[in-house]
Each structure stands twice: as C-alpha cells, then as structure tokens.
C-alpha cells in the first residue's frame, strides 16, 4: 500500500524520523544520568511506546500518561509502571485501584490535603506523587507552600515522590533559556525534597520534565527521572523552541486537493479543523504557521511558504506561496505539518506508518478519549 492509496484526510507517521527523535532524547537523558519516563500523551500508541522503551541509551523508570484510558490501554499491553500525571479526584481512585488489582502499578498525582487523605484511606493499592508547581501555574503547589508536609503526612507510606512539570518552558525560545528553565524546574523539585527530608518524610522518586527541559538541561543532580513526550513527533511549534528541527517532524496529515483557484494562489484541502485541530500554538511563536505548513507527499518543503490559513470543519484553505508552481489538480495530495502534534494526532484514530518513503509499512492504532 502506498500513500496514494490511502483515504484522505489521514495521519502519516514517519518511523525513520520518529526513531531519530527517540534516539536523540534517550542520549540526552542518558548523559544526564537520570531515568526516562516517557510521556505517551502525544503518541498514545503501544507501537511507539515499544520503540521508546527499546532504546539502549537511557534507563526507563516507567511511562507517563495523561488519561486513565491510556493507563488501561498500556497496562493491557503489558506496560505496568505508569504515572497518571494529571491531578486525581477521589472519584477516580476506584478505577486506579482496579487497574492495580489487575497487576498494574499506576501511580497518581495530587497537591491537595483532602485528596491525600482520600488516597490514604482507599482500600485499593496505589502510590501518589505530590505535584509541585515550578512556575507553570497550572497544577501543583509552589515548592514553598505551607501545606507540603501535611499532604505528605496524609499520604503516609503511599507517598511515591514529588513531580513537577516546566510547561512554561514553552515560552522559552533558545537552548540557553531552556537550560535555565530546566535548572529552575530542578530547583523547585529539590526544594520540596529537602523540606520533606527535613520532616523525616521519604521521597524516593523525583520526577521532572518537559521535552525542551529534558533535552537541554545542563545537569539533573538530585532528580531521578524525566518525562518528555512531544519530542517523539515534534511539530512546527517545537521546531521553534529548540526541541526538534524543522525536518524532524514525524507526524503529518495527508490531504487531498478539493478546490483550486490558481489566479488567487489558493487551493482547498480536505483537511480542515477536524483533521488538523484548531490549535494555533505557533501564533505566539516567532513564526506563525497559521493551521499548518503544506509539504509534498514525501514530506519535503516543495511548496515554499504555503500555509493552511483557514480551517473550517472539513475544509483547509491554503494560501499558496506565489513562488511555487500553482498547477494543482483536484485529487492531488499534499502533507500538512502540524502546529501542535498532540492535538493533531488526537484528531485521528490510527497512524499510517512510512519509513521515509511513500510505502505504508504499518498501521498503528491510537487510544483517544477518556
């Protein structure tokens, strides 16, 4: 099967690029002397997970997931050490306990005293991380929050460690900036660890990480593991914040031309907001790619600066670079590099896998939803 035989729109995963991205991160993490706990929220695929876990360059401490559906899926495929890295609610503990009763070791995350008590009181098996906010201002308590010891004490022997996520690294733009944010991420984690140690509370796992900070940290002393995810695929946003380069985007959307208006330098694709997502990550980046960059069917930049400038539900309107040939015909195919690979991938239920060329070498399913 060739790319030309696929129904459009669909998601294409270039395994050769994926392998390079996996290798680069594993080497970076391995050099830092910490374990890799890859975040599978982007890939949501057992086949991708197996490639990441097979890398010889970094020790693996487990995996990270963003939904309990992912936890169930990966546990069912034999990956048992799982960190569900989104703040837990008491109502979700039964589902975690059920997975763990069936052989998984799903650990959870909280920053709340009341929830910590609910975790401690739950009859099922589970361990929990205290979430620290190292500057992202999303989940977690600041490392100097007065309730830290109370949450740890409430968790008791269920305390697995502390975790933090420098999501605000996405506002960094250069490798030195990323290294500085990684240092701040590590410092926030270690501040919490020192407070717990002073209170006689054990904290075996110290978990940090986003793709840019994992890749560019200068040192991670005191940290035990890092949790990057988006680096596996990369995207037009990550390419501008030093996670991947522009030619290392592993996932693209294959689309057909369904409209052409050469005099206006415009074509219309059958990939709109549904197939590309409405994510506009690059809006705040140095270079705004609107809803995606149009590549040729082999993923090459043959169409210059041709962008999907409008994304309706099933229509993607492309402003063609006037410098490139405008002789598209209806049914011609292109690939669109995404702004934000997590959101674009989630619009699809499978990957059509290629190995640099146009031969489809595999079809890999994804686990979407909750």
Instruction: Return the residues of window 6-45 that contact a second copy according to CB under 8 A.
Output: 7-10, 41
Is 313 a binder of a second copy (CB under 8 A)? yes
Is 370 a binder of a second copy (CB under 8 A)? yes
**Smallest distance from the beta carbon of 321 to a second copy, in angstroms?**
19
Is 2 a binder of a second copy (CB under 8 A)? no
CA distance 87 to 130: 9
Is 115 a binder of a second copy (CB under 8 A)? yes
Rg (CA), the chain: 22
Sequential DSSP letters for 200-222: T----EEEE--HHHHHH-S--TT
Contact pattern for a second copy over residues 136 through 165, marking x by CB under 8 A: -xxxx-------------------------
Sequential DSSP letters for 96-159: HHHHHHTT-EEEEEE--HHHHHHHHH-SS--EEEEEE-SS--SSSB-TT-TTHHHHHHHHGGGE
Count of residues in contact with a second copy, rule CB under 8 A: 59
In a 3-state reduction of DSSP, which class is residue 273?
helix
Is 292 a binder of a second copy (CB under 8 A)? no
Binding residue for a second copy (CB under 8 A) from 112, 185, 225, 235? Answer: 112
CA distance to 136, 193, 253, per residue, from 19 (Å): 30, 35, 19
Binding residue for a second copy (CB under 8 A) from 104, 279, 307, 367? Answer: 279
**Smallest distance from the beta carbon of 126 to a second copy, in angstroms?**
16
Is 122 a binder of a second copy (CB under 8 A)? no
Binding residue for a second copy (CB under 8 A) from 212, 228, 273, 338? Answer: 273
The four Cα atoms 166, 20, 296, 257 give a dihedral, to 10 degrees, of -60
CA distance 314 to 145: 47
Of 97, 85, 77, whose CA–CA distance to 38 is shortest? 85
**Smallest distance from the beta carbon of 245 to a second copy, in angstroms?**
23
Which structure tokens are listed for 308?
A: 């999907």
Q: At what angle do helices 148-155 and 113-121 cross, to 10 degrees?
A: 10
CA distance 192 to 188: 7
Binding residue for a second copy (CB under 8 A) from 78, 322, 331, 365? Answer: 331
**Smallest distance from the beta carbon of 221 to a second copy, in angstroms?**
28
- The nearer residue to a second copy, 131 or 225, going by C-beta atoms, is 131
Contact pattern for a second copy over residues 44 through 83, marking x by CB under 8 A: ----------------------xxx---------------
Is 213 a binder of a second copy (CB under 8 A)? no
Is 309 a binder of a second copy (CB under 8 A)? no
**Strand 159-164 to 333-337 pairing:** unpaired
- The nearer residue to a second copy, 110 or 224, going by C-beta atoms, is 110
CA distance to 64, 91, 113, 201, 245, per residue, from 119 (Å): 19, 10, 10, 17, 42
110 within 8 A of 142, measured Cβ to Cβ: no
Tracing tokens 């140095």 back to the chain, one arrives at 286
Site stretch for a second copy (CB under 8 A), options 28-36, 187-195, 238-246, 263-271:
263-271
Binding residue for a second copy (CB under 8 A) from 278, 300, 322, 362? Answer: 278
Site stretch for a second copy (CB under 8 A), options 23-31, 54-62, 96-104, 250-258:
250-258
127 within 8 A of 88, measured Cβ to Cβ: no
Q: Which residues bind a second copy (CB under 8 A)?
A: 7-10, 41, 66-68, 86-92, 95, 110-112, 114-115, 137-140, 167, 256-260, 266, 268, 270, 273-275, 277-280, 310, 312-315, 317, 329-331, 340, 342-343, 346-349, 369-370
């Amino acid at each position: 099967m060739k790319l030309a035989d696929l129904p459009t729109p669909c998601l294409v995963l270039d395994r050769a690029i994926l392998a390079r991205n996996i290798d680069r991160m594993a080497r970076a993490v391995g050099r830092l002397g910490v374990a890799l706990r890859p975040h599978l929220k982007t890939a949501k695929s057992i086949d991708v997970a197996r490639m990441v876990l097979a890398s010889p360059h970094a020790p693996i401490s487990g995996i990270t997931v963003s939904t309990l559906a992912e936890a169930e899926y990966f546990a069912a495929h034999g990956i048992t050490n799982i960190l569900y890295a989104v703040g837990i609610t008491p109502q979700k503990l039964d589902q975690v306990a059920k997975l763990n009763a069936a052989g998984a070791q799903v650990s959870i995350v909280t920053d709340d005293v009341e929830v910590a008590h609910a975790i401690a009181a739950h009859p099922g098996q589970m361990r929990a991380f205290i979430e620290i906010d190292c500057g992202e201002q999303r989940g977690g308590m600041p490392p100097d929050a007065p309730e830290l010891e109370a949450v740890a004490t409430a968790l008791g022997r269920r305390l697995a460690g502390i975790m933090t996520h420098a999501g605000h690294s996405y506002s960094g733009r250069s490798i030195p900036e990323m290294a500085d944010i990684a240092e701040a991420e590590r410092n926030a984690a270690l501040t919490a660890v020192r407070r717990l140690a002073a209170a006689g509370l054990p904290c075996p796992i110290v978990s940090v990480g986003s793709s840019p900070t994992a890749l560019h940290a200068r040192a991670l002393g005191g940290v035990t593991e890092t949790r990057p995810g988006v680096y596996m695929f990369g995207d037009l946003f990550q390419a501008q914040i030093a996670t991947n380069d522009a030619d290392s985007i592993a996932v693209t959307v294959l689309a057909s031309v369904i409209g052409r208006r050469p005099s206006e330098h415009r074509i219309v694709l059958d990939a709109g907001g549904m197939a590309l997502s409405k994510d506009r990550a690059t809006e705040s980046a140095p270079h705004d790619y609107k809803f995606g960059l149009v590549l040729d069917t082999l993923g090459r930049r043959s169409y210059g600066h041709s962008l999907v400038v409008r994304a309706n539900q099933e229509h993607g309107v492309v402003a063609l670079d006037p410098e490139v040939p405008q002789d598209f015909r209806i049914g011609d195919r292109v690939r669109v590099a995404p702004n934000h690979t997590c959101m674009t991938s989630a619009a699809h239920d499978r990957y059509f896998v290629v190995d640099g060329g146009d031969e489809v070498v595999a079809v890999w399913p994804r686990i979407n939803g909750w």
